[in-house]
Chains A and B, each alone.
Chain A
Amino acid sequence: MYMGVGDRETICAVSTPAGYGGISVIRLSGPSSFRFVRKLANSLPETPESHKVYYAKLKDSSGLQIDEVLVTFFTTGRSFTGDEVVEIACHGNPYICETILTQLVLLGAKPAGRGEFTFRAFMNGRMDLVQAEGVLSLIEGDSLSARKLAMRQLAGHLSRTLALIEDDLIFCLAHIEASIDFSGEGLATLSDLDLRSRLSGIEGSLKELVGTYKRGKIIKHGFKVALVGLPNVGKSSLLNMICQEEKAIVSPFAGTTRDLVSNEILFEGNKICFVDSAGLRGGKLDLVEAMGIEKSRALAQEADLVIFIFDLFGGLTEEDLAEIDRVHPYAERFIVLGNKADLVEDPKSKYQDEMRLLFKRLGSDLGGFDISAKDSSSRERLLKEVICTQIARPSEEGAVLSQLRHFEELSSALRGVSHSLTELGDGFGPEFFALGIREALFAIQRVLGKTYDDEILDRVFKEFCLGK
């Protein structure tokens, strides 16, 4: 791994997903990339042209042919990483890939560490921090939409949007500073009115960006669904049915699930994360269970969707209603499922009766339906109708925030701009509203990696696992 001292190493790795396929691509980056590959294929020219594809037969040191491949050469400064890069397209066979890699390593190439190509690209100024973070998300992204989002970040959507805001802020600052330092020279600086409208525009863009974080977070970390309800209404059974595996311990005794149990599934390209909580109960409890209930409440708060489950056979009890009262205000989205439909004769109408009762009490309509944890056909219905409709589709255009770091910085940028607007309205001097704009500018530059502190550095090191 790169330590910054002495000769630079050449790294190599298979860049396509593992397994059998049409082709696999092996990528090398570093000063000896082409030299190493040429040792395996002496038909290649001594001085290749950049961005040109060469046909070659790769042979090992004993002269045994490994594969027929296509070799693409990228010269220093004109490649993904900024280094000299060679890409070998071989047949998509893990054995062939393995053999080629082994030969390259024998010649002196080093297997690339996680994110090391990206790291080199970042270090060589081929991408900014936001883009690099995009690549890392891509590597980690385990759902289709997460990968799409990361691709957009890599393509520079967010960087571009932020660069525009940065530019706008600098423009405003330039005018404000000119009005201070050259006040006597009759300059045509922006009027307070113009400034206000520009700042309002920036405020709007920032609000919109900050608003996408929720969506971005859902895409990146999954849509978080909390299953809550009184003990023994079948939350764990439901979780197992949805996830199609036995994860939660199920028993006929109330209070079996004491800690949070979670499971993730992929459904139609979306990552959905289910969390089963300790059954909520207000009465006297032993301490462990009390702590579990505490966690349940916190969970309801942070979940994207809270599903309250009750026993349809027994109907909504006073205890159920009391619990709904307690949890409902904390939840962003809230639906109610009537479980154990298999035990009820006409579950649909029973459910509707119960919901009317609930409507009377809450004065608002909560979505949901009857379900049976024993009937796996209701799984599809639950996922499609209830959950996927709740996951807002990100627009194909525009930037979306997915990293907490970005969200926090842009929130602070937004606060700065809002401050400035208030002070502008209150007739404060320009040196005061300049402050908020500077705060905003600084926050945005931090996101873009234009200013540096240990926090970003630490992140770089953590993400790129350097220094091993």
Chain B
Amino acid sequence: MSIISDFDVIVVGAGHAGVEACLATSKLGLKTMLITTNTDRIGYMSCNPSIGGLAKGHMVREIDVLGGIMGQAADETCIQFKRLNASKGPAVRGSRVQSDKARYSQFVTDKILNQNLLVLKQAEVKRLLLQNGRCLGVVLDDDSKIFSRAVIITTGTFMNGVMHVGLSQIPGGRVGDRASVGISDQLRELGFSVRRLKTGTPARLLKSSILWEKTTPQYGDEKFFPFSIHSTGQYRLPQVACYISRTTPETHDIIRKNLDKSPMYTGIIEGIGPRYCPSIEDKVTRFSDRDSHQTFLEPEGLDSELIYLQGISTSLPESVQDDFLRTIPGLERVRVARYGYAVEYDFVEPTEIRHTLETRLVRGLFLAGQINGTSGYEEAAAQGLIAGLNAANFLFERPELILGRDQAYIGVLIDDLVTKGTREPYRMFTSRAEHRLVLREDNTIDRLSSIAEGQGLHHGDVLAKLSDISNRREALRVKLKEERINPRAAVQSKLVSMGSTELLKSVSFEELLRRPEISCTSLADLGFEIDLDPVVAESIEIEVKYSGYIKRQMELIKQAQQSEAMLLPESLDYFEVRGLSKEEADKLSFIRPRTLGQAQRISGVNPSGIQAIMVYLKGRFLQSGRELEIGRKPTKQS
């Protein structure tokens, strides 16, 4: 029987992962259908009203350079911008915008509606159509079938989602939206390991009920560093302040007295929540010595009446929420528009997917976003984009896109997920990236523009802009190396007046720029002709100043990679390896790590297990007397 595909790609879910995925495939010329249960909630920010932050901001820039939409949407709808860690080094600075939620969703919806080859459909997907281990489409709630050559699932918290407020539960993935039931059961039947996670969201307050004078305003930065290469440095919307307040001992008392009404503390919720984003119940219990926790009151938009209460996520009953909120300065007379709640949902153990985000068990089936155990809009969008690009690569029979851990935070994200799996909702941190000093916001273009060109999401004019920046940076690099400065009297006195010291001999401008007190501007003052456009000068200055550290980091990574470089034969039978526990052999047989380094990162595989594998391989090598695949460097990932 031949199956006629209605579409090339079906994307299930229109959250941050889904929109990136469907825009990518349709832009690449693939007929794509985006299916969502609620077309009014496309690219919707279900929780906090901000995009970016540490490590997340890095990912937004990476998404942007690779051709995704998130950076533009955030820039266009920015109502407050902050550069976090501005006082720290450039590698750990992160941009964060607060977006107008409604405008953000509208911006993304417009892009979807105006995209050629992309069809939007409101429906619920009940099942996947499968044949011979390949995914060939979906079945909708009205039993109609839609055929396609690949399917990308991005259902977020909606798979068997249950919302908890106090001791009562309502099925659903977000207030006002029903859960989607069926897919996860089918995945389980297919042999996927499906488990539960939990996340939570705080109450939304009515702006007019807050006594603002009791809170402390906090303003954004004047200088805007937009995420997107498409954006200008100008704010598009009026900028607003956020407000800070704090919980009080009375708040904590009320929470403690009512823990018996919390679904978390009575054992109703079995899913694991994120340790880095604890509910207020958790904070009060785990840090009982602190009598106050900070909270930010963040406007959800310019025209919105809603205020998001950052840091106070809770699933206590509504009456208890009312009581404890009113003990927070400024909220004495607060009226709650929507109470906080916890959501439990199904996710698929991400070790079941490959680096391309295609599942190991079903060809043509890709998973992206919270379904893979992550948390956060940025993490979701990054996966959506990669899933979309790889679905296209799969259908066009082109090489897979796998970003290295030294190329992008997105590479770190996916490698962590598929090799380690996750026990809690996975969020990106700068500390997860061993190449942190290289993975900076300022050099995103250097890292990814040639990959972006190969993937083909950008129009010619954008590519020209990217290559112009790359070329100007390269020109400055060369010029700094080649041109030298001599210790003439005028130079010496100028250097001293800049707070630097005299030259002992002629040096290149690059060497001079390595001095902490010398900037690109000071080079210009010394007569060096320089492109002072921050896009060029700032990035190169950072590169030069920190080259010594980057070298050390590279050395460290090289050492670590010696084990990374040890390839594990595809045919390796882990049950033959003496010294491995059955559990370890099971895990390794399932994940089939490509290298020893990857095996080492699998949770549950102990150091002694790794040694056992090495000894086994070496022993086999010695026995057979021929070269095994040991020690050969893996070919460069493309």
Contact = CB atoms under 8 A, between A and B. Distances in A.
B560 to A, nearest CB: 7
Given A3-B623, A442-B556, A466-B619, A452 B600 contact: yes
B396 interface: no
B563 A123 contact: no
Contacts of B578: 2, 4, 8, 123
Nearest to A457: B614
Given A4-B577, A431-B92, A453 B619 contact: no
Interface stretch (B125-133, B189-197, B428-436, B494-502): B428-436
Nearest to A1: B619
Interface in A398-445: 419, 426, 428-432, 435, 438-439, 442
A190 interface: no
Given A431-B430, A454-B566, A180 B615 contact: no
Nearest to A186: B294
B631 A454 contact: yes
B85 A123 contact: no
Given A2-B619, A431-B88, A453 B576 contact: no
B618 A181 contact: no
Contacts of B610: 452
Contact of B54 (A8, A180, A457): A180
B627 to A, nearest CB: 14
Given A181-B55, A451-B563, A460-B615, A432 B622 contact: no
Contact of A180 (B85, B620, B630): B85
Interface in A454-468: 454-455, 457, 460-461, 466-467
B553 interface: yes
Given A123-B608, A432-B549, A435-B556, A3 B430 contact: no
A183 B85 contact: yes
A184 interface: yes
Interface string A1-14: 01111001000000
Interface in B295-331: 311
Residue from the set B85, B91, B294 with the largest chain A CB neighbour count within 10 Å: B85
Interface in B341-375: none
B616 A4 contact: yes
B615 A439 contact: no
Interface string A105-141: 0000000000000000011110000000000000000
Contact of A435 (B55, B311, B429, B552): B552
A177 interface: yes
B549 A435 contact: yes
A35 B549 CA distance: 60
A30 to B, nearest CB: 11
Interface in A3-39: 3-5, 8
A46 interface: no
A77 B429 CA distance: 40
A385 interface: no
Contact of A453 (B311, B559, B615): B559
Contacts of B615: 4, 123, 457, 460-461, 466
A124 B611 CA distance: 10
Contacts of A439: 552, 556
Interface string A154-183: 000000000000000000000001001111
Interface residues of A, number: 41
Contacts of A429: 88-89, 91-92
Contacts of B630: 454
Contacts of A122: 611
A180 B430 contact: yes
Contacts of A457: 614-615, 618
Given A4-B615, A451-B563, A467 B622 contact: yes
Given A429-B89, A442-B560, A125 B622 contact: no
Contacts of A446: 559
B192 to A, nearest CB: 31
Contacts of B135: none
Interface in B565-581: 566, 576-579
A235 B60 CA distance: 76
A8 B516 CA distance: 62
A455 B562 CA distance: 9
A219 to B, nearest CB: 28
B596 A181 contact: no
B187 to A, nearest CB: 32
B598 to A, nearest CB: 12
Nearest to B562: A453
B612 interface: yes
Contacts of B607: 449-450
B84 interface: yes
Contacts of A450: 607
Nearest to B556: A439
B437 interface: yes
B539 interface: no
Contacts of A125: 579, 606, 608
A438 B556 CA distance: 8
Contacts of A5: 576, 620
A432 B89 contact: yes
B242 to A, nearest CB: 11
A239 B616 CA distance: 48
Given A180-B88, A467-B623, A435 B579 contact: no
Contacts of B614: 452, 457, 460
A124 B92 contact: no
Contacts of A345: none
B88 A430 contact: yes
A268 B54 CA distance: 63
B308 to A, nearest CB: 15
Residue from the set B84, B294, B615, B631 with the largest chain A CB neighbour count within 10 Å: B615
Contacts of B429: 177, 181
Contacts of B576: 4-5
A438 to B, nearest CB: 6
B576 to A, nearest CB: 6
Nearest to B82: A184
A265 B630 CA distance: 44
Contacts of B612: 123
Contact of A4 (B85, B276, B516, B619): B619
Interface string B575-594: 01111000000000000000
A5 B607 CA distance: 20
A174 B89 CA distance: 18
A396 interface: no
Contacts of B552: 419, 435, 439
A449 B611 contact: yes
Nearest to B432: A181
B327 to A, nearest CB: 19
A185 interface: yes
Contacts of A186: 294
A177 B516 CA distance: 24
Contacts of A455: 562
21 contacts: A4-B619, A8-B578, A124-B608, A177-B430, A180-B430, A181-B54, A182-B276, A183-B85, A184-B84, A185-B294, A186-B294, A429-B91, A431-B88, A431-B430, A432-B546, A432-B549, A438-B556, A452-B596, A452-B600, A466-B615, A467-B623
Given A177-B429, A181-B430, A450-B607, 18 more contacts: A4-B615, A177-B431, A180-B430, A181-B431, A429-B92, A430-B88, A431-B430, A431-B437, A435-B552, A439-B556, A442-B560, A446-B559, A454-B631, A457-B615, A460-B611, A466-B615, A466-B618, A467-B622
Interface of B: 54-55, 84-85, 88-89, 91-92, 276, 294, 311, 429-431, 436-437, 516, 546, 549, 552-553, 556, 559-560, 562-563, 566, 576-579, 596, 600, 606-608, 610-612, 614-616, 618-620, 622-623, 630-631
For the complex of A and B, the 4 pairs showing the least CB-CB separation, nearest first, are A429-B89, A467-B622, A453-B562, A125-B608
